[in-house]
Every structure is written in C-alpha cells, then in structure tokens.
Amino acid sequence: DQQVKQNSPSLSVQEGRISILNCDYTNSMFDYFLWYKKYPAEGPTFLISISSIKDKNEDGRFTVFLNKSAKHLSLHIVPSQPGDSAVYFCAASEVGLTFGQGTILTVHP
Amino acid sequence: GAVVSQHPSRVICKSGTSVKIECRSLDFQATTMFWYRQFPKQSLMLMATSNEGSKATYEQGVEKDKFLINHASLTLSTLTVTSAHPEDSSFYICSARDFGRSSGRGEQYFGPGTRLTVT
C-alpha cells in the first residue's frame, strides 16, 4: 500500500518555465513533508520542507504548497534551469520518511 | 548543510558472505539514524531506525537477523548484511537528523549511499 504517491513518473519543461511536481498521500498521521532531489548513484539532497500547520513554504526558486484537506502537496520550481534535471522525491514524516516513487524532471535549454 | 558519509561506496561480495556498511555523521551528533534501501527505478524504502545505545526498530517485512544494525556512538551506525544473497543486491542509504541544526523534526541528511552487488 503506497502511502505517498507521485503519479507522474516524468516531467519535461523548457528552461525558464515553471516546473510543478505533485505528490499525494493517504496517511493522515503525516505531519511534516519534504522534497528531495536525487542524482543516479547518489543519496538524496534535501530541498525544502513544510509542516502540516502551514500551507506554503518558499525558498528561493522553490516553493512547496500543502493542501491538507486534499492530502496533496506540490513543488514549484521557477524559473526552471537545466541543472534542475534530476529525480525528485516527495517524502512524508511520521518516524522515518516514507517516500514517493519519484518524478524524473528534465529541463531543456 | 550537515554531512553524512558512508563507507564503502560500492562493494561486491560472494553469496553467503557478510558485508558491513558504515554511516557516519561528520559534523554533528545523531542519536537517531535511518537505513533505507532502494531497488532500481523504485523509491527509497525505510528499513530500520537506528537508536544510539538501544536496539534498532525494524520496519515490517525487514528481517532483523539478516540486517544487523548497531548504533555504537552518536556519530556511527553500521548495517551488516549477513549471509548475503543476490536478491540483497541494492543501493543502501543511511540518513541522520541533526536536531541542533534542523529547522524541523523531519529534515534528514543523507549519506551518498552504498551499492551492494552479491554474486
């Protein structure tokens, strides 16, 4: 049973445009959410997080939105850059982290 | 950010042997570390929570006798894959929380991972 889902396996975006990555969860006990970026054969790198008491958190080009009633969060990257191309995982925290399946983002020059 | 290292980065072993993977927090103390496993083209799966000075907490379906975890100090946790088999081949990643630096309880810093291949 997948408690955290990223339904889009891949996303392709033009440089300078907005990238929107989506994530849904089912466990209402999750109260902290995070986005990680990962390159092949490397560990994930933390990007941005949000507590369940907030609905938005912004850090530079990255903004995470949380809709608790819909159990949905999204990561917005604007403007997108070719260096952003990687696999993006959303994760939810109860004790350890539960990860989504990941979305491969490709930003074309 | 905080730095977590893993050693070795890659290991190839024969079936039936045991392999030890080390996870170290280099510039902070971690009372809790986590071990994850990632199969090709799949998400990371939490295997166990490693607690300094006490027994690890394993997730459902993870064999504690096969994946031995020892959190010997505030900066070191080890994962030993005992009697390894080809199906244990995977990418193993550890993480640690830096409570002194993290802005929230869920933020974790990950090691670079260890690729295990069992032949």
Rounded average pLDDT over A24-32: 91
**Closest Cα partner for A61 from A85, A34, A81, A86?**
A81
**Closest Cα partner for B4 from B102, B100, B93, B115?**
B93
- B79 to chain A, any CB pair closer than 8 A? The answer is no
CB atoms within 10 A of CB B4: 26
Walking along chain B (119 residues) 10 residues at a time, the average pLDDT comes out as: 85 96 90 86 85 88 94 92 95 82 63 91
Query: For residue A44, what is the nearest residue in chain B, using CA coordinates?
Result: B110
Contact present, A6 and A102 (Cβ < 8 Å): yes
Q: Do B113 and A100 touch (CB under 8 A)?
A: no
Q: Do A46 and B113 touch (CB under 8 A)?
A: no
CA-based diameter of chain B, in Å? 43
Q: What was the pLDDT predicted at B44?
A: 85
Please tell me the least confidently modeled range out of A25-29, A45-49, A104-108, B16-20.
A45-49
Q: What was the pLDDT predicted at B42?
A: 73
pLDDT digits (tens, 9 = 90+) for A42-97: 888 889 989 888 999 999 999 999 999 999 999 999 999 999 999 999 999 876 78
Taking the CA atoms of A19, A39, A95 and A58 in sequence, report the sign of the dihedral they define.
negative
Contact present, A23 and A72 (Cβ < 8 Å): yes
Contact present, A80 and A106 (Cβ < 8 Å): no
Q: What was the pLDDT predicted at B100?
A: 60
List CB contacts of A20: < 8 A, sequence separation 6 or more.
Answer: A11, A74, A75, A76, A77
- A62 to chain B, any CB pair closer than 8 A? The answer is no
What residues 18-57 of chain A have any CB closer than 8 A to a CB of chain B?
32-34, 36, 41-46, 49, 51
Q: Which residues of A4-38 are buried (b: 16+ CB within 10 A; e: fewer)?
A: bbbeeeebebeeeeebbbbbbbeeeebbbbbbbbb
Query: Tokens in use for A8?
Result: 């889009």
